[in-house]
Structure 1
Amino acid sequence: MNNHPLLPNHFAGRWQTATDEGTTLFDPVLGTPLVRVGRAGLDLAEGFTYAREQGGAALRALNYKQRAALLTDVVKVLQANRDAYYEIATANCGTVTRDSAVDIDGAIFTLGYYAKQGDALGEAHCLLDGERIRMAKDPVFQTQHVMNPTRGVALFINAFNFPSWGLWEKAAPALLSGVPVIVKPATATAWLTQRMVKDVVDAGVLPAGALSIVCGSSAGLMDQLKPFDVVSFTGSAETARIIRSHPAIAERSVRCNIEADSLNSALLDPTATDGDEAFHLLVSEVVREMTVKSGQKCTAIRRIFVPRALYEPAAKAIAAKLSKCTVGNPRNEGVRMGALVSREQFDGVTSGIAHLKTEAEVLYDGQPTPLVDADANVAACVSPVLLGSRDPESAKVLHAVEVFGPVATLMAYDNEEQAYALVRRGEGSLVCSLYSSDPAFCARATLALADSHGRVHAISPDVAAVQSGHGNVMPMSLHGGPGRAGGGEELGGLRALNFYHRRSAVQASTAALDILAQSASPFQP
Structure 2
Amino acid sequence: MSQTPLLPNIVAGQAQSGQGAGTPLFDPVLGTELVRVSRDGLDVASAFRFAREQGGAALRALSYRERAGLLAAVVQVLQAKRDDYYAIATANSGTVTRDSAVDIDGGIFTLGQYAKWGEKLGDARALLDGGRIRLGKDEGFQAQHILTPTRGLALFINAFNFPSWGLWEKAAPALLSGVPVVVKPGTPTAWLTQRMVQDVVEAGVLPAGALSVICGSSHGLLDALEPFDVLSFTGSADTAALIRGHDAVAKRSVRVNIEADSLNSALLDPAATADSEAFKLFVNEVAREMTVKSGQKCTAIRRAFVPRALYQAAADAIGAKLAKTTVGNPRNEAVRMGALVSRAQFDSVREGLAQLLTEAQALYDGRSQALVDADPAVAACAQPVLLGTSDPVAARVLHDVEVFGPVATLMPYDSETQAYGLIRRGQGSLVASVYSADPAFTARAALELADSHGRVHAISPEVAQSQTGHGNVMPHSLHGGPGRAGGGEELGGLRALGFYHRRSAVQAHTGALDALAASATPLAF
Displacement of 1:13 in angstroms is 2.5
Match of 2:112 in 1: 112
Partners of 2:443 and 2:366 lie apart in 1 by: 37
Partners of 1:431 and 1:161 lie apart in 2 by: 18
Match of 2:297 in 1: 297
State the AA in 1 paired with 2:31: G
Displacement of 1:14 in angstroms is 1.9
Partners of 2:354 and 2:40 lie apart in 1 by: 38
Partners of 1:14 and 1:298 lie apart in 2 by: 33
Secondary structure (helix, strand or coil) at the match of 1:433 reads: strand
Residue deviations 1:328-387 (CA, integer Å, cap 9, x gap)? 000000000000000000000001001000000110000111000000000000000000
Match of 1:494 in 2: 494
Displacement of 1:392 in angstroms is 0.4
Displacement of 1:2 in angstroms is 4.6
Does the CA contact (< 8 Å) of 2:301 and 2:408 recur in 1?
Answer: yes
1:165-314 counterparts in 2 under 5 A? 165-314=165-314
Partners of 1:111 and 1:12 lie apart in 2 by: 23
5+ residue gaps, structure 2: none
Match of 1:327 in 2: 327
Residue deviations 1:228-253 (CA, integer Å, cap 9, x gap)? 00000000111111111100001111
Does the CA contact (< 8 Å) of 2:285 and 2:469 recur in 1?
Answer: yes
Displacement of 1:172 in angstroms is 0.2
Match of 1:439 in 2: 439
State the AA in 2 paired with 1:408: A
Does the CA contact (< 8 Å) of 2:13 and 2:201 recur in 1?
Answer: no
Partners of 2:13 and 2:32 lie apart in 1 by: 33
Match of 2:13 in 1: 13
Displacement of 1:182 in angstroms is 0.3
Does the CA contact (< 8 Å) of 2:128 and 2:521 recur in 1?
Answer: yes
State the AA in 1 paired with 2:227: P
Partners of 1:103 and 1:304 lie apart in 2 by: 25
Partners of 1:148 and 1:435 lie apart in 2 by: 42
Residue deviations 1:174-198 (CA, integer Å, cap 9, x gap)? 0000000000001000000000001
Secondary structure (helix, strand or coil) at the match of 2:129 reads: strand
State the AA in 1 paired with 2:511: A
Residue deviations 1:404-463 (CA, integer Å, cap 9, x gap)? 000000000000000000000000000000000000000000001100000000000001
Match of 2:364 in 1: 364
State the AA in 2 paired with 1:397: V
Match of 1:132 in 2: 132
Partners of 2:329 and 2:362 lie apart in 1 by: 26
Point out 4+ residue stretches in structure 1 off by more than 6 angstroms: none
Partners of 2:16 and 2:135 lie apart in 1 by: 54
Partners of 1:14 and 1:122 lie apart in 2 by: 31
Partners of 1:357 and 1:504 lie apart in 2 by: 52
Match of 1:348 in 2: 348
5+ residue gaps, structure 1: none
Residue deviations 1:208-237 (CA, integer Å, cap 9, x gap)? 000011000000000011110000000011
1:427 equivalenced with 2:434 (yes/no): no
Partners of 2:139 and 2:519 lie apart in 1 by: 22
Match of 1:158 in 2: 158
Return the TM-score normalized by structure 1: 1.00
State the AA in 2 paired with 1:475: P
1:72-91 counterparts in 2 under 5 A? 72-91=72-91
Match of 2:507 in 1: 507
Partners of 1:96 and 1:239 lie apart in 2 by: 30
1:94-113 counterparts in 2 under 5 A? 94-113=94-113
Partners of 2:356 and 2:78 lie apart in 1 by: 41
Partners of 2:175 and 2:105 lie apart in 1 by: 19
State the AA in 1 paired with 2:30: L
Displacement of 1:136 in angstroms is 1.3
State the AA in 1 paired with 2:157: I
